[in-house]
Amino acid sequence: MIPRSPFGRTGHLSTRIIFGGAAFWSCDQAAADRTLDLLLEHGVNHIDVARNYGDAELRIGPWMKQHRRDFFLATKTQERTYAAARAQIHESLERLQTDHVDLLQLHFLIDPAEWEVALGPGGALEAAVEARAQGLTRFIGVTGHEVVAPAMHLRSLARFDFDSVLLPNNYPLMRNPQYAADFEALMKVCRERNVAVQTIKGMARRLWSHGPRTHTTWYEPLAEQPDVDLATWYVLGQPGIFLNTLGDLDVLPKVLDAASRFEQAPSDEEMQALAARLEMAPMFE
């Protein structure tokens, strides 16, 4: 089974693999239902989705009638103002067919101007705090992509006591000295305050540049089981972080399989060899 760990201060023991609902962006319900069976088989108990992930919330909604208690359920709003975020939160609850989520996240909050709006008077954060007071969510988090994500998350944590953060982590990106330093600075604060740390893009190989697109991710993912093993174990080998799965249903079973066999992190020599052989490159500069 996939190992579990406390999800920050939430009191929930989450599997260190979190299902990334972006994989349901445009799939049908039958494919989604097959995925649910796979998640239950591996004991995955945490789902992360967003209102702007196409049809993903609609695909997850039917599960909640029977399996709401089986999952820590998280969604996101990318709206920046109170009114728009409040409306989107209620829409997500309807789509997910539940009266509450466990975690509501301010999504992709890295642009300084948008950050000022979302975390300022009349911003989306006010809608999230209101939702928490009304029992529509239990916890509030923030997410971000690109190399500025850890630094912006530190700014966010200085402004508000978020319960979780989400940002990229993979071998090529962590070879960037500035990103690695910012990531560790963020981890230090999260450890001190018991803030959950979720990571994305763990299976990223590089931007699409070679041949036709054979997967549903916007980047080229690792796809062969031995390569997926190393990338999965690389992330899980970093204490205190969770790995959110990629937006591709074909690679997903390989990630779950790798996680169920996790014992220790691969060596740096193994990761260097993997990166060289597959010409891996960071997606964010």
Domain boundaries, the chain: 4-277
> Two tokens at 201?
């893009």
pLDDT band of residue 249 (cuts 50, 70, 90) is: very high
CA 99 to chain centre: 22
Assigned architecture for domain 4-277: Alpha-Beta Barrel (3.20)
Q: How much of the chain exceeds pLDDT 90, in percent?
A: 96
Is 227 within 8 Å of 278 (Cβ atoms)?
A: yes
**Closest by alpha carbon to 216, among 35, 79, 93?**
35
Q: Which of 95, 91, 102, 185 is nearest to 136 (CA)?
A: 102
At residue 61, does pLDDT exceed 80? yes
Q: How confident is the model at residue 234 (pLDDT cuts 50, 70, 90)?
A: very high
Q: What is the pLDDT of residues 19-60, one digit of tens each?
A: 999 999 999 999 999 999 999 999 999 999 999 999 999 999
Helix axis angle, 225-236 to 268-277, nearest 10°? 140
Q: What is the mean pLDDT of residues 164-175?
A: 98
Confidence of residue 72 (pLDDT cuts 50, 70, 90): very high
Give the pLDDT score at 87.
98
- What pLDDT was estimated at residue 66? 94
Q: Is the pLDDT of residue 14 over 90?
A: yes
pLDDT reading at 193 higher than 80 = yes
Whether residue 100 is predicted with pLDDT greater than 80 in this model: the reply is: yes
pLDDT in the model for residue 210: 72
pLDDT greater than 90 at residue 1? no
Q: Please check the confidence at residue 284 and state whether its pLDDT lies above 90.
A: no
Q: Is the pLDDT of residue 211 over 80?
A: no
The per-residue pLDDT for range 115-146, each reduced to its tens digit, is: 999 999 999 999 999 999 999 999 999 999 99
Which residue, among 76, 67, 154, has the nearest Cα to 110 in the 3D structure? 154
